[in-house]
C-alpha cells in the first residue's frame, strides 16, 4: 500500500510537471488565438487609446477641471457649446466648467473603479465560489448562506458607517465597491463548480490523491475562466455606476472631482433642454470603453477555452 501511494504521488507529480510544460504552450496558443480575434484586438487598442488620452489630453486643456468660466455661466445653452475658440473643446457643464478637462479626470476615476471592482470580483468571487462548490456539504451551505445574508443587508448603512468611521477618501470608494462586487460572481462560480467537479478529470485527480487546494487551483479554476471573464466584463458598467451612489452618500468622489457616473447623470438631467454635449461626450467614452471591455472579454473567453481548438 505504501509503495502504491508513493507511486501514485509520483505519478501525480509527473502529471503536474507535464501540465506545467504544456501550460506554457497553452498560454502561447491562447495569445495567438487572441491576436487573431480582430474585435478583441480592436478593443485593446481602443482601451489603450483612452488611457493615452487621459495621460496626454491634459496637456492640451485650456481650462482646469474646476475653474468656472464666468463668461459662460448662466448662458451655457448658447455660449457653453463645444468650441475651439474659447478652449472648451467638449463644451461646458451647467456651471460653466470645462467638460474636456472634466471628462479626462472622470475617466481616470471611473476606469480605476471598473478595474478594481472586476479584480475583486474575479479573485474573491472565483475563489469563494470554487471552494464552496468543490468542498460542498456543510461548508457550502454555510458559505452560501453567508452570501445570502451579505446580499440582503441594507448596503447603504455599511457605506455610511464606513464614512463615519474612516472618513472620506478615494480609497474608501474602492473598499465600498470591493465589498459588494464579488457576491454574484461567487454564486455563478459555485454553480459551475458543482457541475465541473463531477467530471472525469477531476475524479481522476482525486483518485491520484491530488490535494483539494491543488485541484481547485489547477483543475477547477482554469475551467471556469470562460464564464468568469465574460461575467466580469458584464459587471463593469454596474461598478462604474455604483460609484455615483457611493459618492452620493458622501464616501466617494467629491466635487470638484468627478466621474463618468456623475457627468452622465448631470448630462441626462438636461436632456430635454438641448445641451446635448453634456451627456454626449461622457457617454461616448463610457460606451466605447465598455464595448472594448466586452470584446476583450469575449476574445479572452474564446482564446482561453481549453476545448476550443
Q: Residues 107 to 136: which contact other proteins by CB under 8 A?
A: 136
Does residue 140 touch other proteins according to CB under 8 A?
yes
Within residues 64-83, the interface with other proteins by CB under 8 A covers 66-68, 70, 73-75, 77
Within residues 226-245, the interface with other proteins by CB under 8 A covers 226-227, 230-231, 234, 237, 241-242, 244-245
Q: Which stretch binds other proteins (CB under 8 A): 43-51, 114-122, 210-218, 290-298?
A: 290-298
Distance, in Å, from the CA atom of 156 to the CA atom of 166, rounded to the nearest integer, reads 15
The set of residues, in sequence order, having a beta carbon less than 8 Å from that of 27 and lying 6+ positions away, is none
Q: At what angle do helices 221-249 and 155-166 cross, to 10 degrees?
A: 70
Single residue of 2, 4, 149, 171 touching other proteins by CB under 8 A: 149
Which value, in Å, is the radius of gyration of the alpha carbons in the chain?
24
Single residue of 11, 191, 207, 217 touching other proteins by CB under 8 A: 191
Does residue 287 touch other proteins according to CB under 8 A?
yes
Single residue of 30, 187, 205, 215 touching other proteins by CB under 8 A: 187
Distance, in Å, from the CA atom of 107 to the CA atom of 275, rounded to the nearest integer, reads 21
Give yes or no for a cis peptide into 256 (omega within 30° of 0): yes
Single residue of 100, 182, 183, 281 touching other proteins by CB under 8 A: 183
Least distance to other proteins, CB of residue 209, Å: 21
Least distance to other proteins, CB of residue 35, Å: 16
Distance, in Å, from the CA atom of 3 to the CA atom of 100, rounded to the nearest integer, reads 72
Least distance to other proteins, CB of residue 220, Å: 14
Least distance to other proteins, CB of residue 9, Å: 27
Q: Which stretch binds other proteins (CB under 8 A): 83-91, 108-116, 151-159, 207-215?
A: 151-159
Q: Which stretch binds other proteins (CB under 8 A): 48-56, 114-122, 158-166, 173-181?
A: 158-166
Q: How many residues form the binding site for other proteins (CB under 8 A)?
A: 85
Within residues 12-51, the interface with other proteins by CB under 8 A covers none
> Of 12 and 225, which has the nearer Cβ to other proteins?
225
> Of 189 and 216, which has the nearer Cβ to other proteins?
189
Cα 237 versus chain centre, distance = 8
Least distance to other proteins, CB of residue 112, Å: 17
How is residue 18 written as a grid cell?
A: 507535464
Q: Which stretch binds other proteins (CB under 8 A): 44-52, 83-91, 171-179, 298-306?
A: 298-306
Amino acid at each position: 500500500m505504501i509503495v502504491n501511494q508513493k507511486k501514485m504521488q509520483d505519478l501525480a507529480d509527473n502529471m503536474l510537471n507535464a501540465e506545467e510544460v504544456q501550460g506554457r504552450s497553452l498560454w502561447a496558443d491562447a495569445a495567438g488565438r487572441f491576436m487573431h480575434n480582430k474585435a478583441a484586438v480592436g478593443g485593446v487598442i481602443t482601451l489603450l487609446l483612452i488611457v493615452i488620452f487621459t495621460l496626454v489630453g491634459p496637456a492640451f486643456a485650456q481650462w482646469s477641471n474646476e475653474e468656472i468660466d464666468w463668461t459662460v455661466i448662466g448662458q451655457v445653452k448658447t455660449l457653453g457649446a463645444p468650441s475651439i475658440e474659447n478652449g472648451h473643446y467638449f463644451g461646458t457643464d451647467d456651471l460653466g466648467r470645462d467638460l474636456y478637462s472634466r471628462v479626462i479626470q472622470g475617466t481616470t476615476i471611473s476606469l480605476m473603479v471598473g478595474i478594481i471592482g472586476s479584480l475583486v470580483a474575479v479573485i474573491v468571487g472565483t475563489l469563494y465560489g470554487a471552494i464552496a462548490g468543490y468542498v460542498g456539504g456543510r461548508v457550502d451551505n454555510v458559505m452560501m448562506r453567508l452570501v445570502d445574508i451579505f446580499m440582503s443587508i441594507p448596503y447603504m448603512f455599511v457605506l455610511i458607517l464606513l464614512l463615519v468611521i474612516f472618513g472620506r477618501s478615494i480609497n474608501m470608494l474602492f473598499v465600498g465597491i470591493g465589498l459588494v462586487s464579488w457576491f454574484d460572481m461567487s454564486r455563478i462560480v459555485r454553480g459551475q463548480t458543482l457541475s465541473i467537479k463531477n467530471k472525469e478529470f477531476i475524479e481522476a485527480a482525486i483518485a491520484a490523491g491530488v490535494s483539494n487546494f491543488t485541484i481547485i487551483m489547477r483543475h477547477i479554476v482554469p475551467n471556469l475562466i470562460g464564464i468568469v471573464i465574460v461575467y466580469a466584463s458584464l459587471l463593469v458598467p454596474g461598478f462604474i455606476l455604483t460609484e455615483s451612489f457611493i459618492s452620493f452618500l458622501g464616501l466617494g468622489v467629491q466635487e470638484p472631482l468627478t466621474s463618468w457616473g456623475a457627468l452622465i447623470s448631470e448630462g441626462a438631467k438636461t436632456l430635454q433642454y438641448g445641451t446635448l454635449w453634456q451627456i454626449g461626450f461622457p457617454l461616448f467614452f463610457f460606451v466605447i470603453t465598455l464595448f472594448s471591455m466586452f470584446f476583450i472579454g469575449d476574445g479572452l473567453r474564446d482564446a482561453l477555452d481549453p476545448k476550443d481548438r
